[in-house]
Structure 1
Amino acid sequence: MPKENEQHIQEKEMNMVGHLSELRNRLIFIAVWFILFFVLGFIYVKDIYQFFVLNLDFKLASTSPGDIIWIYFTMSGLVGLVATIPVLALQIWLFVKPALTDKERRASVAYIPALFILFIAGLVFGYLVFTKLIFPFFAGFE
Structure 2
Amino acid sequence: MNAELPQQQPGNLPATVPTRLPKRLPTPHVPKPHLPHLPDPDAPDVFEEMTLIEHLEELRDRIIKSVLAIGVAFIAGVFLASPLLKRLQEESGAATGFDVVSPTDPITIYFKIALYIAIGLALPVLLWQVVGFLLPGLTGKEKRFLILSMPFVILLFLAGVAYGFFFAAPRALQFLASFMSDIYEWSPEGQEVISFYLTLMVGLGLAFQLPVVMFILAKLGAVTPKKMAGFRKYAVIAILIVSAIITPSTDPFNMGIVAVPLLLLYEGGILVARVFASRPLSPVVGSGQRQT
TM-score normalised according to structure 1 size: 0.77
**Does the 8 Å contact 1:34/1:80 carry over to 2?**
yes
- Aligned partner of 1:59 among 96, 102, 110: 96
| Matched residue, 1:131 | 170
Letter in 2 for 1:130: A
Larger helix proportion, structure 1 or 2? 1
Tell me the CA shift for residue 55 of structure 1. Answer: 5.5
Aligned residues between the structures: 133
Tell me the CA shift for residue 138 of structure 1. Answer: 4.9
Tell me the CA shift for residue 123 of structure 1. Answer: 1.1
| Matched residue, 1:4 | none
- The within-5 A match list for 1:23-34 is 23-34=59-70
| Matched residue, 1:77 | 115
- Superimposed CA distance per residue, residues 15-71 of structure 1 (whole angstroms, 9 cap, x where no aligned partner): 111111011000011112122222321233222223434566623233354221122
Letter in 2 for 1:120: L
Letter in 1 for 2:96: K
| Structure 2 CA distance for partners of 1:136 and 1:66, relative to 1, 3 Å | farther
| Structure 2 CA distance for partners of 1:56 and 1:126, relative to 1, 3 Å | closer
- The within-5 A match list for 1:111-122 is 111-122=149-160
- Aligned partner of 2:143 among 105, 109, 116: 105
Structure 2 residue runs without a partner (length 5+): 1-45, 186-292
**Does the 8 Å contact 1:62/1:68 carry over to 2?**
no
Tell me the CA shift for residue 136 of structure 1. Answer: 4.9
**How far apart, CA to CA, are the structure 2 residues paired with 1:106 and 1:46?**
41
Percent pairwise identity: 27
**Does the 8 Å contact 2:78/2:111 carry over to 1?**
yes
**How far apart, CA to CA, are the structure 1 residues paired with 2:109 and 2:81?**
9
- Say yes or no: does 1:44 pair with 2:80: yes
Letter in 2 for 1:61: F
**Does the 8 Å contact 2:92/2:174 carry over to 1?**
no
Question: What secondary structure is seen at the aligned counterpart in 2 of 1:60?
Answer: coil
- Say yes or no: does 1:92 pair with 2:130: yes
TM-score normalised according to structure 2 size: 0.41
Letter in 2 for 1:133: A
Structure 1 residue runs without a partner (length 5+): 1-8
Moved over 6 A (4+): none
**How far apart, CA to CA, are the structure 2 residues paired with 1:55 and 1:34?**
27
The structure with higher relative contact order (CA 8 Å, sep 6+) is 1
